[in-house]
Structure 1
Amino acid sequence: MKITVLNAGFAAILLGFSGTGNAQTNLGIPSSLAVQADSASYADIADLVVISSLIVDANVRNLRKIPPEQAVGVPANLQRMLVEADIVTLIRGQEGVAPRVRFLLDIPKDAKGKIPKLKKQRLFLLGSSVAGRPGEIRLSRPNALIQWSAANDILVRAITKEAVQIDAPEKITDITSAFYSAGTVIGEGETQIFLKTAKEQPLSLSVLSRPGEEKRWAVSTAEVIDESATAPAKFTLLWYRLACELPRSIAAEMVEAADSEGAAKVQADYNYILDSIGPCGRKR
């Protein structure tokens, strides 16, 4: 039996929304283990979605301790558990998923050596299927869990919907070059910054300055910079890539400038972009 993928449509990201529609939230699961139900950031959820080929909404059914002799290398402050969970919804996964899954989880112990109660908790599990082992999941990270809440449900589905698109923004790995072009009048000019992405997807930034006007910056995902390009909306996957992956400064050797004034304008415009994007917001 396989559960089919449901549409991940959504109306809008609810800014500042704290979903408490599930009575099983805030039961002491540490943020080091799972993204929290009532204080998640877009970046914390996106970090997990973009690296996971399988995403499910599930209820924890049972947990069993793994004997120490079978958990070699696990630190003393962690307890390795075999977790069984019943699937509520498959959000991402081309091959479907079994109605019940199991996975290994290293859970932090408290000062008394106890672990938080996960049984009956509703969680998003983010990882991949294990080849040749139906019903087995390997988490993308040791803490690739997200507590269920109405707000988190919206975010997981919205980010997944963007991430599965053919032209989804890829990871930014570096700045390849940047230059400044002066305009025909004093105070007019344009900075262009070209970025390197994981799969060589074209990505560039531009800042246009005109006398008496506010600077305008834009991002282009085409080979040729489109004059209609704009800055990305906040809390979208493209915004996340820029906010969380852009270097904090441009290396001097990447700036193609004929003089120090041009190089200074590039750096100033790049700082303007970073300030406009705002902080990544990652909490863990």
Structure 2
Amino acid sequence: MHHFTKFKLALAAGLAMAAAPAAAQQAPAAGAPTYADLVDLADPADLVIRAQIREQALLRPERAPGVRPGYGRLYVEARTLALISGSEPIGESIRYLVDVPLDEDGDPPKLKKQEVVLFARSAGRPGEIQLIAPTAQLRWSEALAGRLRPILTELTAADAPPSVLGVRDILSMPGNLAGESETQMFLNTDGDGPVSITVIRRPNMAPVWGVSWTEIVDQAARPPSRDTLAWYRIACFLPDDLPAEANIAQDPASRAQAEEDFRFVQQSLGPCRRNRS
């Protein structure tokens, strides 16, 4: 315990302030993590680690700034079981801070020997990691591993869809027939990768739409399947309302059609549900 206490104090001093800013953004989990929850955790993580907790210690409140009400900050020592994702070498033993809910007596859960999945980055010192969010620790299970595996595969693929930042332009153009139109929506992305959405309306037919991840605007493109990275990039990051400045049509009818098609795409994608916030 002497070794444990020494490293507890050293790590708390080095990481407590780093963990504090994000703490206020976290909320208690309400059920199992959704697909969006898992991508939220995996996407910014340089390291995804399966580990078994060996020791835990609750930090005093004065050593744990920014912890949300009802939570406490633990110093944890754990044994590395597997590096699920990441190329950075890690040791057999790792140390980190994590925020956990406290019971009505102010006590944390007993996590010793529990296996967990950690979403983290290096803390810059051997054997120490920093979680990408104060609560970026999930209890490991085969079911969780099965859901996480395809997400990590998609995130590391060479053709992984870029992060969507918002709507750059949208333009609706009427066709030659009554009820015929084509709306093209161009999205801003992290790194300026091309992403466009096309909505086609034909008389007496249901509207169809699709997304293109290349510079070619493809009328044959199809919507992304739900709970895929392509779906997440759009469904979870389109704005709730179409920015007025993005609607570049001049006449009222075309502007109204662009608005309608934007809402149609949102409805088709469905809600981006999260149990973590």
TM-score range, shorter chain: 0.7 to 0.9
1:119 aligns with 112
1:270 aligns with 262
* Residue 41 (1) aligns with residue 34 (2): yes
Alignment of 1:35-184 (within 5 A): 39-67=32-60, 70-71=63-64, 74=67, 77-131=70-124, 133-184=125-176
Partner of residue 235 from structure 1, selected from 216, 227, 241: 227
User: Structure 1, residues 4-30: CA drift from partner, whole Å, max 9, x if none?
Assistant: xxxxxxxxxxxxxxxxxxxxxxxxxxx
TM-score when scaled to structure 2? Answer: 0.84
Contact 1:34 1:147 in 2 (8 A): no
* Residue 253 (1) aligns with residue 225 (2): no
Once the 2 structures are TM-superposed, how far is the Cα of residue 33 of structure 1 from its aligned partner?
6.0
C-alpha distance in structure 1 between counterparts of 2:257 and 2:171, whole Å? 9
Contact 1:33 1:142 in 2 (8 A): no
1:25 aligns with none
Letter in 2 for 1:89: A
User: Structure 1, residues 22-63: CA drift from partner, whole Å, max 9, x if none?
Assistant: xxxxxxxxx956685xx2210111110111110011111111
2:10 aligns with none
Look up the SS of the partner of 1:179 in the other structure.
strand
C-alpha distance in structure 1 between counterparts of 2:136 and 2:151, whole Å? 15
C-alpha distance in structure 1 between counterparts of 2:43 and 2:183, whole Å? 30
C-alpha distance in structure 1 between counterparts of 2:86 and 2:29, whole Å? 21
**Alignment gaps of 5+ in structure 1:** 1-30
TM-score when scaled to structure 1? Answer: 0.82
Look up the SS of the partner of 1:55 in the other structure.
strand
Give the root-mean-square deviation of aligned CA atoms. Answer: 2.0
Letter in 2 for 1:62: E
**Alignment gaps of 5+ in structure 2:** 1-25
Partner of residue 208 from structure 1, selected from 200, 207, 219: 200
C-alpha distance in structure 2 between counterparts of 1:181 and 1:96, whole Å? 54
C-alpha distance in structure 2 between counterparts of 1:211 and 1:148, whole Å? 52
* Residue 222 (1) aligns with residue 214 (2): yes
User: Structure 1, residues 167-215: CA drift from partner, whole Å, max 9, x if none?
Assistant: 3223221211100111122211100011101221111111011112111
Percent identity between matched residues is: 38
Contact 2:29 2:275 in 1 (8 A): no
Larger fraction in helix: 2
Letter in 2 for 1:182: P
Letter in 2 for 1:46: V
